[in-house]
Amino acid sequence: MDILGEILKQVLAGGGPQPQPAPRQPAPQSKGPPPGMPSPEDLGDILGQIFGGGAASKLPDVVRQFEEKGMREQVDSWVRTGANKPVERRQIEDAFGRKELEELAHRRNIDQNQLAEVLARYIPKIIDELTPGGQLPRR
Q: What is the reported pLDDT for 139?
A: 59
pLDDT digits (tens, 9 = 90+) for 84-118: 999 999 999 999 999 999 999 999 999 999 999 99
CA atoms within 13 A on the CB side of 17: 2
User: What's residue 111's pLDDT?
Assistant: 94
CB burial class (10 A; 0-12, 13-18, 19+) of residue 53?
A: middle
CA 73 vs CA 19, 88, 93, 134: distances in Å: 35, 14, 18, 14
Dihedral angle of Cα 64, 66, 72, 74, to the nearest 10 degrees: -130
| Residue 48: other Cβ atoms inside 10 A | 18
More confident residue, 123 or 35: 123
pLDDT at 68: 96
- Structural domains of the chain, with CATH: 3-11+35-130 (1.10.10.690)
